[in-house]
Amino acid sequence: MNILVCIKQVPDTTAIKIDPVKHTLIRDGVPSIVSTFDAYALEVASRMKDKDKQSRITVLSMGPEQAKNALKECISKGADEAYLVSDRVFGGSDTLATSYILSGAIKMLEEKNGAPFDLIFCGKQAIDGDTGQVGPEIAQHLDRALITYASDAVMEDGKLKAKRESDEGYDYLTADLPAVITVVKTAYEPRYPSLKGKMAANKAVIPTLTSQDLSGLDLAHCGLKGSPTKVRGTFTPTHEKNGQKIEAETGDEAGRTLVKLLSQAKLIG
């Protein structure tokens, strides 16, 4: 199996603060990490590789040069090779442009490999941008089957079997390959890097793919120019604790209290 995992290097949002005056992120001194769900995606992929040792995992990221550190971390956890997409003209890309450029890079790698990736993994969303659009957009650009929000996935009889969280419980979905899959938090934690992986990561040479390498791309669809999203303004949401916890001996009693409160607030008739 030939697997690709798209990973984004993000600031550790659990450590980030927002400037209350300028409404911008205070990035100083905040460590960069592999976006959480991408780390889970890599773990799902690595478990597939554990079962089928012939598999190869490639990781791909678009970002500045320092995103190579995130790619190296993936190699230390078992990825076989990594590519960084980086070019000034790609800067300022929104999700549409990002997914267009990533798809261009994927096509280029597939041409080089002489075959499409059997599986393309993404996180359900990047923990900074949070849109959750890039994965599905890649599936669209490449015209591949798509399974979103998988909390686990395995290969069975040459097909992808995924477990997806839904409000009612779990959906079990099957897809033919090649396919794109986006991953949520799994029941298991991502593995530690192996010592060997760490040594391999240190030695790894990670090629940078620029707009010249991705000659199939129409630059009008890349970067700021190719990004229809316009940020009109930003604000810091206020976190007010205005929830109320209803505590009662029985569910029945709690239900009655709830109805009373809601009707007092004129939310129900």
Of residues 127, 132, 134, 131, the one with CA closest to residue 16: 127
User: Is 191 a binder of other proteins (CB under 8 A)?
Assistant: yes
In Å, what is the CA distance from 246 to each residue of 240, 242, 243, 255, 267?
A: 18, 13, 10, 9, 17
Of residues 234, 231, 219, 207, the one with CA closest to residue 97: 219
Residues that bind ligand FAD (CB under 6 A): 6-8, 35, 37-38, 60-63, 93-95, 98, 102, 122-123, 125-126, 128-135, 227, 229, 231
Residue closer to other proteins (CB basis): 194 or 236: 194
Which of 17, 23, 27, 196 is the binder for other proteins (CB under 8 A)?
A: 196
Min dist CB 195 to other proteins, Å, is: 4
Min dist CB 76 to other proteins, Å, is: 8
For 82, the 3-state DSSP assignment is strand
Which of 24, 66, 113, 194 is the binder for other proteins (CB under 8 A)?
A: 194
Q: Burial of 250 by CB count in 10 Å (0-12 exposed, 13-18 middle, 19+ buried)?
A: exposed
Count residues near other proteins (CB under 8 A).
9
Residue closer to other proteins (CB basis): 177 or 200: 200
CB atoms closer than 10 angstroms to residue 124? 24
Binding partner selected for residue 113 from other proteins, ligand FAD, none, CB under the kind-specific 5 to 8 Å limit? none
Q: Are strands 2-6 and 25-26 parallel, antiparallel or unpaired?
A: unpaired
Residue closer to other proteins (CB basis): 145 or 200: 200
User: Is 199 a binder of other proteins (CB under 8 A)?
Assistant: yes
Cβ distance 70 to 32 under 8 Å? yes
Note the residues at the interface with other proteins (CB under 8 A). 191-196, 198-199, 202
